[in-house]
Amino acid sequence: MKIIHVPCLEDNYSYVIIDEATKEGAVVDPAEPEKVVQVAKENGINLKSVLTTHHHWDHAGGNDKIKQLLSLGSDINILCLHTPCHTKGHISYYVTGKEEEDPAVFTGDTLFIAGCGKFFEGTAEQMYQSLCVTLGSLPKPTQVYCGHEYTVKNLQFALTVEPDNAKTVQKLSWAQHQRQAGLPTIPSTIEEEWQINPFMRVDLPELQERVGCKSPVEALREIRQRKDNWRG
| Residue of 19, 29, 58, 90 with catalytic role | 58
Please tell me which residue in 29, 59, 82, 90 is annotated as part of the active site: 59
Run of H or E residues at 37: helix 33-42
- Give the whole-angstrom CA distance, residue 232 versus residue 222: 17
| Catalytic pick among 19, 29, 90, 109 | 109
90 carries an active-site annotation: no
Q: Please give the single-letter amino acid code of residue 48.
A: K
For the question of residue 55 being annotated catalytic, the response is: no
Active-site residue identified among 29, 56, 64, 102: 56
Query: In the annotation, is 177 catalytic?
Result: no
Asked whether the beta carbons of 124 and 221 are under 8 A apart, the reply is yes
Q: Which of 19, 29, 86, 90 is catalytic?
A: 86
Catalytic residue of the set 19, 29, 90, 148: 148
Q: Say how far apart CA 33 and CA 26 lie, in whole Å.
A: 12
3-class secondary structure per residue, 46-102: EEEEEECCCCCHHHHCCHHHCCCCCCCCCCEEEEEEECCCCCCCCEEEEEEECCCCC
Catalytically annotated residue among 54, 82, 164, 228: 54
Can 29 be counted among the known catalytic residues? no
Residue 132 CB contacts under 8 Å (≥ 6 apart), including other chains: 200, 202, 203, 216
What are the catalytic residues? 54, 56, 58-59, 86, 109, 148
